[in-house]
Structure formats: structure tokens, C-alpha cells
Amino acid sequence: MKPVGTTGLILNEPLLWKRGKKGRSGYSLPKRDVDMAKMDDHLIGNAPDLPDLNEVDVVRHFTRLSTWNFGVDTGLYPLGSCTMKYNPKTNERQAALPGIAGAHPLLPDQLSQGALKLIYNLQNYLAEITGLDAVTLQPAAGAHGELTGMLLFYAYHKANGKRHSKILVPDTAHGTNPASASLCGYRSIPVKSNENGILSPEAVAEVMDDDTAGIMVTNPNTLGLFEENIKEIADIVHSRGGLMYCDGANMNAIMGVVNIKEMGIDVLHLNLHKTFSTPHGGGGPGSGPVCVRKKLEPFLPVPRIIEENGTYSLTHDVPNTIGKLHAFHGNFGVMVKAYCYILTMGAEGLKKASQLAVLNANYIKEKLKDVLHLPYDRPCMHECVFSDKNQSDYNITTLDMAKRLIDYGFHPPTIYFPLVVHGAIMIEPTETESLESIDEFIETFKCIVEEAKQNPELLHEAPVKTKVKRLDETAAARKPCLRG
Ligand SMILES: *Cc1c(COP(=O)(O)O)cnc(C)c1O
């Protein structure tokens, strides 16, 4: 097995303070041709303790540090649920165009026509892709979209003279769902998935009552499985006056294939930074648009954009709005990237992307199920979920295998999530990986499974080739070392 990763040229890098030498400098200015003026003492104060460095030292320092990082531009990043797909560079270029990057959010509508038109069109595209009727682009991320959705539930029910204390959340929902519901004052009632890893209508009917505002379903769910009974579940929830929320962060599996409105969904959020191609992770800006059915449109956040005879304007005149969720219009740069992505892909391209994402995940599932335990052996969507059950004979856990992947040059998958699978290994290859890169990953995983049998001690120590070896993750979280 030839590892993808090696450590030969990953260089050590001391702090800049250790590199500095008194008198070095990274700039040269023309000789002064005026007399030096003395500065007031009180303005001088104590100079900051900065090292003296030349230009090449600074450039090398930051370039070397950048090689310690791993991203989708480095290699396969199969982090389940996060959709770490490759983001075409043209998206970045368009978002950086001076007229777009420099647009000021306080400019009057008549001087912001291009930006407003882009937002308006993007809303329409997302409505078309999901099948829903109206969209807000204000929320800054998926979880923010969920909170928006819960506020919409609350406002809708209130307008109909109803108040509820509960919301149903399946055990295969994303962890942010119950958190968003409780931020909005709802108590989450867990619903168990069935032996096939999906929700059964009976389980929902059993807990759905008049004090329940609705249900939050992640579809495809966090096992990477499609909730096949969704329409029947929607009928049950609606018949008791409840609303259907869909966490659509996994839309990458179903773009152009599934009509969300026909699934019976009332409110859905999307993650533009996952499905619609914006680099994410590390806390970068995101966008979590919320798409709704007509009956919830009057409650959407303000300002809303209206179009009249080709002219776009913002209005705050929305009497039932839940208010504002973000400064100005939301994270505009992310919207530009999503807009560019949708236009370059086109309807057929988006559908193909989803089909390939599903194909790639199923390919990995089929190739690895002989060596890894597959708790739900059914066709999956964009990701497949294994466990470490087969390796427990050798006392090898999911964490050991994930850490060993790093030695071979792969980012580990999501681990120990979803919680319904003990020792879960959740792999999402996405559509942007070639057959060769997926095969390399599969071969590497098989090799690690073999090592688990032959040499378990090695796996307990992994990663062994990295700068920093196995960390005590509890101590790292409780006593972070922030000084290098
Ligand atoms: C990523 C994700 C979220 C949360 O999105 P953020 O943008 O990180 O807030 C919610 N649900 C699912 C299914 C996700 O994969």
C-alpha cells in the first residue's frame, strides 16, 4: 500500500519571535528628505513587542504554516453530514468582483439594483429547486435557519390563536434541531426510528398531539437514508394542526430529484455553504436560506425584496413578520457564490451532482461492507454509516481507525455521529471525487482494517506520522494551550 500522505517536506516552524533578529526589516523606503520631527512623548508609549523580520522569513513562515492545514483543495475530505465538496474557483472570482465585494449595504435601493436583483433571482432559483413558494436569504447558517423556522412555526400558530409547548424530533435528526427548538421555547420530544433506520408513521402518530407545534425531520436523515414515509407523516402532523419542518442541509443528495413541497413540508432550510458550493468549516461565513409554503410567507423576516417593472426595492411593510434575523441582507458573498454555482451548473447539472453524490456513497458502502459493519444495509443517499463492531475483537475503535487515516493522508470521516449507531463512521465522499480518489480511500481503509488485525498496537498510537501525535482530547478541550 502506497500511502497518499508523507511527512518529508512538512517543516518545523518556530514562533516568529524566535526567528527575529534585531535590525532585520521587511521593507525599504526612499531616503528621508525632511528633518525628523519629534513626536509627543505621550503618543509614543511602549512599543509593541514585535520581532524584526525580513520579507522572506515572513513569507516562509506563513506558507509553511499553510502546509500544516488540510482542506478540500488538498484531498478527499469525507466528513459525513458536512458536504465538503470541491468549490469551483470561479465562484470566488465572481464574489470578489469590485462591484460586488465593494457594494455597501446602506446604499439606497436605486444604487443597489444589481445586488438586489441577484438576491431576488437566487430566492426564485431556490424556490424552484425545492418546489416551495417563498424564500428568505437572511439566516447566516443552517442552525440559524432552523431557529428562523421555529420562529415561523410560533408566529403562524400564534396568528391562528394557538400556542404549543412541544415539538417532535426524531433520533436521526441533526443535533442542532432540538437546540434550535428549545431556543424558541419548545420542548423536544424524541421519536425513535424503526429497524430500517427511518421514521414510521405509527411512531409519529403515537406522540403527535394538540400541544405539539409540529415535527423537525432531517431528510435524508443523519443515517444517510431517505425518509420514505414522509408524506404519510406529514398527513398525520397536519391532521393534528401541526407543521412540518425539514432540515434540508443534506439537499446535496436530492437536488432536482425530490420536490420538497410534495413531501408535505411547510418550512425547509438549506445550507448554501454545503450544497451550493461555498468553502466552509473553520467558522467561515455561511448562509442558511429558509424556504416556505405560501401560508407561511407573511411571517418571513424583513426587509423583503419586491420587483416592479424590472425595478427592485426593499420593503419593511410586512405586518406579521418575525422581524430581522441578520444585519442588512445576510451574508451576501455566500449568495453570490451560490448564484454563480447554480448558473454554471444549470438544472441538469445540479441533478447530476446529486446523482453522482449518491452513486459515490453507495459505491463506498458496497466496497467496504465486507470489512466494516454496516448497521443498515440498504441503498443510501449522499453518505453511508458504518460502525467499529467488527473490529471490537481486536480492541480497535472508530477513533483508532479515523486517526490512522491521517497517517495515510486522508481527512477522517465524521465519527461517533449519528448517536443511534454505536461507534459510527459516517462517510460522505460527495460528487466531486474521481473514481481513482475514491478507490484510493477504499484501499486505504481496507489496509487499516488489516492492520487492526495484525498490529493493533500501532493503531492505538495513530497518528504516528503527524507533528502532533494522539491528543488527549478531553484535556485539549478543557485546558487549551493557546501560546504555542
Ligand atoms: C451542517 C448541518 C446543520 C447545521 O448547519 P450549520 O450551518 O453548521 O449551522 C444542520 N443539519 C444538518 C443535517 C447538517 O448537516
Nearest residue by C-alpha to atom 4 in ligand 1: 142
Whether residue 385 lies inside any domain: the answer is yes
138 and 253 inside one domain: yes
218 and 272 inside one domain: yes
Q: Whole-angstrom Cα distance, residue 384 to residue 61?
A: 39
247 and 321 inside one domain: yes
- The residues, ordered by sequence, that sit 6+ positions from 124 with a Cβ below 8 Å of its Cβ are 135
Q: What is the CATH number of the domain that holds 130?
A: 3.40.640.10
Whether residue 46 lies inside any domain: the answer is no
Whether residue 72 lies inside any domain: the answer is no
The identity of residue 420, as a single letter, is V
Whether residue 141 lies inside any domain: the answer is yes
Q: What is the CATH number of the domain that holds 383?
A: 3.90.1150.10
Contact 268, 276 (CB under 8 A): no
- The residues, ordered by sequence, that sit 6+ positions from 219 with a Cβ below 8 Å of its Cβ are 226, 227, 230, 246, 247, 248, 250, 263
326 and 374 inside one domain: no
Last residue of a domain, one of 298, 327, 344: 344
166 and 287 inside one domain: yes
Counting beta carbons within 10 angstroms of the beta carbon of residue 277, is it exposed (0 to 12), middle (13 to 18) or buried (19 or more)?
A: buried
Tell me the pairing of strands 414-415 and 425-427. Answer: antiparallel
- The CA 83 to ligand 1 mean position distance, Å, reads 10
Whether residue 2 lies inside any domain: the answer is no
Tell me the pairing of strands 134-136 and 290-292. Answer: antiparallel
How far is Cα of residue 367 from the mean position of the Cα atoms in its chain?
26
* Half-sphere exposure of residue 296: CA atoms within 13 angstroms, side-chain side: 31
**Cell reading at 169:** 424530533
pLDDT tens series, the chain, 484 aa: 566 666 667 778 889 999 999 999 998 889 999 998 888 877 777 878 899 999 999 999 999 998 888 899 999 999 999 999 999 999 999 999 999 999 999 999 999 999 999 999 999 999 999 999 999 999 999 999 999 999 999 999 999 999 999 999 999 999 999 999 999 999 999 999 999 999 999 999 999 999 999 999 999 999 999 999 999 999 999 999 999 999 999 999 999 999 999 999 999 999 999 999 998 887 779 999 999 999 999 999 999 999 999 999 999 999 999 999 999 999 999 999 999 999 999 999 999 999 999 999 999 999 999 999 999 999 999 999 999 999 999 999 999 999 999 999 999 999 999 999 999 999 999 999 999 999 999 999 999 999 999 999 999 999 998 888 898 888 888 988 877 5
Contact 255, 350 (CB under 8 A): yes
**Cell reading at 58:** 515572513
81 pocket-lining for ligand 1 (C-beta < 6 Å): yes
Contact 201, 229 (CB under 8 A): yes
287 pocket-lining for ligand 1 (C-beta < 6 Å): no
Q: Whole-angstrom Cα distance, residue 78 to residue 412?
A: 7
333 and 466 inside one domain: no
366 and 271 inside one domain: no
123 pocket-lining for ligand 1 (C-beta < 6 Å): no
174 and 108 inside one domain: yes
Number of domains in the chain: 2
Nearest residue by C-alpha to atom 15 in ligand 1: 81
- The CA 176 to ligand 1 mean position distance, Å, reads 7
223 pocket-lining for ligand 1 (C-beta < 6 Å): no
How far is Cα of residue 69 from the mean position of the Cα atoms in its chain?
18
176 pocket-lining for ligand 1 (C-beta < 6 Å): yes
- The CA 432 to ligand 1 mean position distance, Å, reads 20
368 and 400 inside one domain: yes
91 pocket-lining for ligand 1 (C-beta < 6 Å): no
DSSP 182: H
- The CA 345 to ligand 1 mean position distance, Å, reads 23
What strands, in cross-sheet order, belong to the sheet with 267-269?
134-136, 290-292, 267-269, 243-247, 212-218, 166-170, 187-191
What domain range is 359 assigned to? 348-478
329 and 372 inside one domain: no
Tell me the pairing of strands 166-170 and 212-218. Answer: parallel
Give me the pLDDT at residue 5, please. 66
- The CA 250 to ligand 1 mean position distance, Å, reads 8
163 and 298 inside one domain: yes
**How many secondary structure helices (H) and strands (E) does the chain include?**
16, 12
Counting beta carbons within 10 angstroms of the beta carbon of residue 285, is it exposed (0 to 12), middle (13 to 18) or buried (19 or more)?
A: middle
Last residue of a domain, one of 344, 374, 407: 344
23 φ/ψ sector (left φ>0, alpha ψ -120 to 50, else beta): left
Give me the pLDDT at residue 1, please. 59
Greatest alpha-carbon span in the chain: 87
**Cell reading at 128:** 424552484
306 and 427 inside one domain: no
Q: Whole-angstrom Cα distance, residue 484 to residue 482?
A: 6
Contact 350, 277 (CB under 8 A): no
